[in-house]
Amino acid sequence: MKLKHRTSCPVCESTHFTAFMEGTVDPGTLRTEDFKITDNRYGSLWTFQQCDDCSFVFSNPCLHEDAVLEFYSQLEDNEYSDEAEGRGKNFKTILKRMAKIQTPDSTLLDIGAASGIFLNEALHSGYDVTGLEPSEFLVKEAKRLYGLDILQGTIEDLDENLSFSTVTCLDIIEHLVEPDAFMSRVANMIKPGGLLVIVTPDIGSIASRLAGKHWWHYRIAHINFFNTRSLERLLGKHGFDIIKKNRYTWNFSAFYLATRIFPSINNKKSLQKILKKINFKLQLFDSWEIYARKKN
């Protein structure tokens, strides 16, 4: 697969960057399955460089946008909705924090909506919701599971005249080839005073540094990484003020966590039933939950 070589930082356009980590991914062997949300082959990473000016970490060389979109449009991930209960708890926490900042009866766009778990929670919290998801399979899952009509595609497929009071990008921006262009489009779709919510891994976290190449966020689908400095740079550039930051907390069943380490458990049906009844709240302090206000 043909890659492109960057000559400038995808966030601040600086031409000064240095080697960050040597990659292990072989682009010639990539498959759609490699981009599953539930992929557990941690330590699969691209060759990363870090911007000397804004500290953004980005893959270089990197995939072309059309290649990434092709993978996601064909993606099927049967395991994602199996953890709907735990993921729902994650999202309810976000919605509660959003409600303290903005009235729930506003228009909301969820980008990268997957099978609609967050969107369904938002709908029942009073939001007028719109979802956007490139995977045809996940769009159909959202309809099957929740009766949601999610739009298949990317932000480029939305009418640029649409506007929303709230836009959510939950575990999305680390997947983007061009985060600056994406954020420009997002900013144009958020009303003045509107809210942007982002969840993304923190490359500057202690967990990231301690785990090194074995950090669980290093996977093929993650092609860029932010820390506080680079996030503030990107959001400030597009007219956003960060008004609240939290460390994202995960809720998963013991079964899901166990299969991250021992995939063979998937074949043991009796053990599955027991482990799926046990739930854990996991705080690794290595992902940011960001709430940002669009300037008037």
Q: Can you list the residues of the chain whose pLDDT is less than 70? A: 257-258, 261-262, 264-274, 276
pLDDT of residue 269: 63
Residue 134, classified by CB atoms within 10 Å of its CB into exposed (0-12), middle (13-18) or buried (19+), is buried
pTM of the model: 0.93
Q: Which tokens in the block code for residue 184? A: 């420009």
pLDDT on residue 139: 98
For 15, counting Cβ atoms within 10 Å of its Cβ (0-12 exposed, 13-18 middle, 19+ buried), the class is: exposed
Quick one: pLDDT at residue 251? Answer: 83
pLDDT digits (tens, 9 = 90+) for 94-135: 999 999 998 777 899 999 999 999 999 999 999 999 999 999
Per-residue buried b or exposed e for 56-70, using 16+ beta carbons within 10 Å of the residue's own CB: bbbbbebbebebbbe
Quote the tokens at residue 29: 């062997």
276 to 39, 85, 96, 195, 255: CA distances (angstroms): 18, 10, 26, 35, 5
Name 123's Cβ contacts closer than 8 Å, sequence gap at least 6.
Answer: 129, 146, 148
Report CA-CA distances (Å) from 106 to 101, 110, 112, 191, 195: 12, 13, 19, 11, 10
Residue among 56, 36, 3, 71 at smallest CA distance from 219: 36
Domains with residue ranges and CATH for the chain? 17-294 (3.40.50.150)
